[in-house]
A and B are shown apart, each in its own frame.
Chain A
Amino acid sequence: MTLSRNWIWMGITLGIFILSILHVLLGEIFVSSSDFYTFLFDFDPDKIEHVILKEFRIPRLFMCFIAGSSLSLAGLMMQTLFQNPLAGPYVLGINSGSSLLVALSVLSGWTFVRNDFGLIFSALIGAGIFAVLILFLANFLRNSLSLLLVGIMIGSFTGALVSILQSVSEANSLKLFTLWSMGSLQNVQFGQLGVIFLFYLLALLVTMYYSKSLNALILGEKEASLLGINVRKSRIGIICATVLFTGLVTAFCGPIAFIGLAVPNLIRILFKTQNHRILIPACLLGGVVFLLICDICVELLSFITPLPINAITSIIGAPMVIYFIIKRLA
């Protein structure tokens, strides 16, 4: 048992290493490994390959790490909190907030900031507003199932609002919004990476802080409270971390589906445990592997046609989820 688990850890780590190198080198313009080597140790701002690495490949690889692990951890926490393997970061309606605000700013032209950051800013504000709303409701809804249902309702409601906005908007802005909603890992600039990493680190620390609560919450909120866990406080903390993770990713990359749902389930099957002191690092790394694979597919297929990352995660993720449901019912 221990041996095989060590092998899995080694496999995942090695996988991330190899996939990262592939990810950096592949793309519309191929970068050779010697270019990458000189980029690391002898940066030349006039060399096109070096500029590509700095401005495009490195930020994109970085976002694969951030987005993959964030969404996977957010999914893990939601599944544990709601005792439901089909919960994910999106069920709370947090990304609906982002979508609504982005739709408002793009489609109606009404925006907080009128520059390149307009989209990102709207998405962050939207996630924030809806997070506060969910946290506020969480105080009144005593059990998580009600909260889950309310989250789904909020999602449908805002989804309808977005549809209405789409139907009355003009072609150009509709295209811009549709592109955002497909998700992309290429929207981030080198200079933004620091801020993103700071937010990410904060969410990760909160997640680790609640690993004991998460372990007890496996048994349900009532049992967890009898084991001395402050359920209300934990629930708010866990939702806060989820919001940070999801809001961050949705703001910078658009809504990316299925990672939060598929990866934690896969990790539980692989590691055969419910111990979050193992599941948290495993989901972190597993999410990175999943998104790296998806994004490498995007890079490879980009020679034929540009594809949105959201399509690839769904194409790989959806069959997995169907498999889980069937296996669970069987």
Chain B
Amino acid sequence: MIEVRNAKIGYVNPLIQIPQLNLRKGELYGLVGANGKGKSTFMKSVIGEIDLLEGEILMDGLPIQPTLDQRRSKLFSFVSSRFAGIPHLRVLEYVLLGRTPYLGRFGQVTEKDRDASILALEAVDILHLQNKFTEEISDGERQMVAIARAMAQDTPYVFLDEPTAFLDYKNKRKIMELLQQYVRSEEKSVLVTSHDLEILLQSVDTIFCIPESSTTMRTILKKDFELESIIQQTFH
């Protein structure tokens, strides 16, 4: 579990203040906030790319910062809003890159790495694409492939930065359902930022909201999910 305590997050001036925030295993979290309110800054701070201005982050009860640089790629995986594809790069090759933290010095791929990548492709139901080129598949398929890569990386914490932003409604739902399944079956802790509030509310367990009116992050539990009130808080 990751605990953020009394933290001020930002580059010079605090963008977000977080009295208390927990990321537990087996739960799916949503992060909402208007553009420029610091969603990405928050994620970068948790993975230690930006230092906290104040406060501390604990992992399983201990400060996360020492030796984080060596452990980061085995703790956190990251999916960005868009993977445009790369010429001559096949889907399976791309997913195998998720295994980079586990490879030997010269990058030799073992049977275990191959199995993990195949399993990840199976989990997102796109094994049939494994020999396709990342440039020739659809946007929705590419996003699935990006998620498969994060799964192959096999980290306890997975962050997705607006993974549904460029997808149609059907694919948006598909991605969120997939993440729900993944969190339950693999006991992972997954955080998704999104502006698709309706779909987010249907799938996540907890929402972190950076309100428009203040910089203090709020935690909204599932029992208090109400679309209108969250829209009000976030965007007005």
* A residues in contact (CB < 8 Å) with B: 1, 85, 208-209, 211-212, 215-216, 218-219, 223, 226-229, 268-269, 272-277
Contact of A229 among B87, B93, B100 (CB under 8 A): B100
In the A-B complex, list the 5 residue pairs whose CB atoms are closest, starting with the nearest. A228-B73, A212-B107, A227-B100, A228-B101, A274-B89
B residues less than 8 Å from A211 (CB atoms):
106-107
In the complex, the answer to whether A212 meets B90 with C-beta atoms within 8 Å is no
Contact of A227 among B87, B97, B108 (CB under 8 A): B97
Contact of A212 among B88, B89, B106, B153 (CB under 8 A): B106
User: In chain B, what residue has the closest Cβ to A211?
Assistant: B107
In the complex, the answer to whether B103 meets A212 with C-beta atoms within 8 Å is yes
Given A208-B106, A212-B103, A227-B153, do A1 and B131 touch, yes or no (CB 8 Å)? yes
Can you list 9 contacts pairing A with B, beta carbon distance less than 8 Å? A1-B131, A212-B104, A212-B106, A223-B78, A226-B73, A227-B101, A228-B100, A274-B89, A276-B107
A residues less than 8 Å from B101 (CB atoms):
227-228
In the complex, the answer to whether B90 meets A273 with C-beta atoms within 8 Å is yes
Nearest CB of chain A from residue B83's CB, rounded to whole Å: 9
In Å, the complex CA distance between A41 and B98 comes to: 53
User: In chain A, what residue has the closest Cβ to B131?
Assistant: A1
In Å, the complex CA distance between A183 and B95 comes to: 43
Given A226-B72, A227-B73, do A274 and B107 touch, yes or no (CB 8 Å)? no
In the complex, the answer to whether A212 meets B98 with C-beta atoms within 8 Å is no
Knowing that A212-B104, A229-B100 touch, tell me 5 more A-B residue pairs with CB under 8 angstroms.
Answer: A208-B106, A212-B107, A215-B100, A216-B97, A218-B86
In the complex, the answer to whether B97 meets A215 with C-beta atoms within 8 Å is yes
B residues less than 8 Å from A273 (CB atoms):
88-90, 93
In the complex, the answer to whether A212 meets B105 with C-beta atoms within 8 Å is yes
Contact of A277 among B74, B105, B108 (CB under 8 A): B108
Most chain A CB inside 10 Å of its own CB: which residue of B47, B78, B93: B93
B residues less than 8 Å from A212 (CB atoms):
100, 103-107
Contact of A209 among B86, B97, B106, B153 (CB under 8 A): B106
User: In chain B, what residue has the closest Cβ to A268?
Assistant: B88
* B residues in contact (CB < 8 Å) with A: 47, 72-74, 76-78, 86-90, 93, 97-98, 100-101, 103-108, 131, 133, 153
In the complex, the answer to whether B86 meets A226 with C-beta atoms within 8 Å is no
In Å, the complex CA distance between A272 and B133 comes to: 9
A residues less than 8 Å from B93 (CB atoms):
273-275
Nearest CB of chain A from residue B115's CB, rounded to whole Å: 18
In Å, the complex CA distance between A218 and B90 comes to: 12
Nearest CB of chain B from residue A114's CB, rounded to whole Å: 45
Nearest CB of chain A from residue B180's CB, rounded to whole Å: 24
In the complex, the answer to whether B98 meets A227 with C-beta atoms within 8 Å is yes
A residues less than 8 Å from B88 (CB atoms):
268-269, 272-274
Contact of B86 among A1, A219, A228, A229 (CB under 8 A): A219
Nearest CB of chain B from residue A237's CB, rounded to whole Å: 12
In Å, the complex CA distance between A210 and B224 comes to: 51
Given A227-B73, A228-B101, A274-B93, do A215 and B107 touch, yes or no (CB 8 Å)? yes
A residues less than 8 Å from B97 (CB atoms):
215-216, 218-219, 227
Nearest CB of chain B from residue A327's CB, rounded to whole Å: 10
B residues less than 8 Å from A223 (CB atoms):
78
User: In chain B, what residue has the closest Cβ to A224?
Assistant: B100
In Å, the complex CA distance between A218 and B115 comes to: 22
In Å, the complex CA distance between A268 and B88 comes to: 7
A residues less than 8 Å from B86 (CB atoms):
218-219, 274
